[in-house]
């Protein structure tokens, strides 16, 4: 779906509300084919759409592997673009009832950087809210802009702060062991509004869709290939992203 977003500059099923779009996915309804794919030579749009149709298969086992998607995107990037210039651990035991100060101590003992006292300003008006988290713009003592990400409770059963702390600690661990050019680096952890938060570099270009809409002539094949490269790396670590979409991909 992210590849489709990149080449159309829009979310899949734009004519449907979000609940109806989820129903369409569950029913195996294929998104409407775009009238054109931006910046592709004739014929390569057919290759890309064929790839997407396989990726849309309702049975996960019938979908191609990420490495296969990456390889096809590499071919399209190399041969199918129309006049585009390309720019080139240890275990931590945290239970659902582990208090926040103890969580922080254990994370710091494992080498995580606590930047709470380095945050000089958090702009609560500069807030981006997704389905699972809120992200605030902040500034460190050295003047560097960072993003402070706070997870929210998924359901009423996870409304207790301790459960959100544990989920955040799990995501911090997964993020900290990920070192790849196409995976955003982790700056450290912080406490904000009595919540455990993750801190990462601020991405001035925002999400992938915002960037594409502002730069319609940019190399979209390269962007899709980089997303695939990052996912191949993450899957190689035995992890799954769980919420990959254009809104969740950032541009440096």
CATH of the domain at 179: 3.30.200.20
Question: Is 213 a domain residue?
Answer: no
Does residue 25 belong to any structural domain of this protein?
yes
Structure tokens at 79: 């041969």
Asked whether residue 82 falls in the same domain as residue 111, the answer is no
What is the arithmetic mean of pLDDT over 13-24? 87
Per the structure, the complete domain to which residue 76 belongs is given by 2-87+219-248
Let me know whether 106 and 192 are in one domain. yes
Residues 138, 66, single domain; the answer is no
Q: Residue 209 falls within a domain, yes or no?
A: no
Do 115 and 177 lie in one domain? The reply is yes
Residue 206 inside a domain? The answer is: no
Is residue 242 one of the residues assigned to a domain? yes
Residues 11 and 57 in one domain: yes
Residues 79 and 108 in one domain: no
In the chain, where do the E strands start and end?
119-129, 133-140, 145-151, 188-192, 195-201
- Write the CB contacts of 31 (distance below 8 Å, at least 6 apart in sequence): 1, 4, 12, 13, 56
Q: What is the pLDDT of residue 251?
A: 85
Same domain membership, residue 147 and residue 54: no
pLDDT digits (tens, 9 = 90+) for 56-94: 888 888 888 888 888 888 888 888 877 655 444 455 666
What CA–CA distances, in Å, run from 252 to 41, 52, 146?
27, 26, 12
Q: What pLDDT, in 10s, does the model give residues 33-57?
A: 888 887 787 788 888 989 899 888 8
What is the C-alpha separation between 11 and 1, in angstroms, rounded? 8
pLDDT at 167: 80
Q: How far is 67 from 75, CA to CA, in rounded Å?
A: 13
What's this model's pTM, rounded to 2 decimal places?
A: 0.64
> Which 3 state secondary structure label does DSSP give 50?
helix
Q: pLDDT tens across 124-167, in order?
A: 777 777 777 888 999 999 999 999 998 877 655 555 666 777 78
* Cβ atoms of residues 119 and 211 within 8 Å: no
Same domain, 134 and 43: no
- pLDDT, average across residues 169-173: 83
The count of structural domains within the chain is 2
Question: Would 158 be classed as within a structural domain?
Answer: yes
Give me the pLDDT at residue 116, please.
92
Asked whether residue 147 falls in the same domain as residue 174, the answer is yes
Residues 226, 181 within the same domain: no
Mean residue pLDDT of the chain comes to: 82
The reply to whether 81 falls in a domain is yes
Whether the CB-CB separation of 66 and 235 falls below 8 Å is answered with: yes
Same domain, 69 and 13: yes
In sequence order, the β-bridge partners of residue 198 are 149, 189
Same domain, 175 and 226: no
Q: Is residue 207 part of a domain?
A: no
């Amino acid at each position: 779906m992210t590849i489709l977003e990149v080449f159309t500059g829009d979310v899949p099923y734009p004519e449907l509300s979000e609940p109806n779009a989820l129903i369409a996915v569950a029913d195996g309804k294929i998104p409407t084919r775009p009238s054109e794919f931006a910046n592709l030579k004739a014929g390569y749009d057919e290759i890309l759409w064929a790839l997407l149709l396989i990726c849309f298969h309702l049975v996960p086992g019938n979908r191609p592997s990420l490495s296969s998607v990456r390889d096809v995107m590499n071919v399209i990037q190399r041969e199918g673009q129309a006049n585009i210039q390309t720019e080139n651990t240890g275990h931590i035991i945290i239970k659902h009832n582990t208090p926040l100060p103890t969580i922080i101590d254990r994370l710091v003992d494992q080498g995580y950087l606590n930047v709470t006292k380095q945050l000089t300003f958090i702009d609560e008006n500069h807030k981006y809210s997704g389905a699972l988290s809120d992200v605030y713009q902040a500034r460190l003592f050295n003047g560097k802009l960072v993003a402070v990400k706070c997870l929210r409770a998924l359901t009423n059963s996870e409304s207790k702060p301790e459960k959100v702390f544990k989920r955040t600690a799990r995501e911090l661990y997964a993020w900290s062991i990920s070192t790849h050019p196409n995976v955003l680096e982790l700056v450290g952890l912080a406490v904000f509004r009595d919540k455990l938060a993750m801190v990462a570099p601020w991405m001035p270009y925002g999400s992938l869709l915002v960037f594409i809409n502002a730069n319609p002539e940019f190399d979209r094949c390269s962007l899709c290939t980089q997303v695939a490269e990052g996912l191949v790396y993450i899957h190689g670590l035995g992890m799954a992203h769980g919420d990959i979409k254009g809104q969740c991909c950032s541009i440096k």
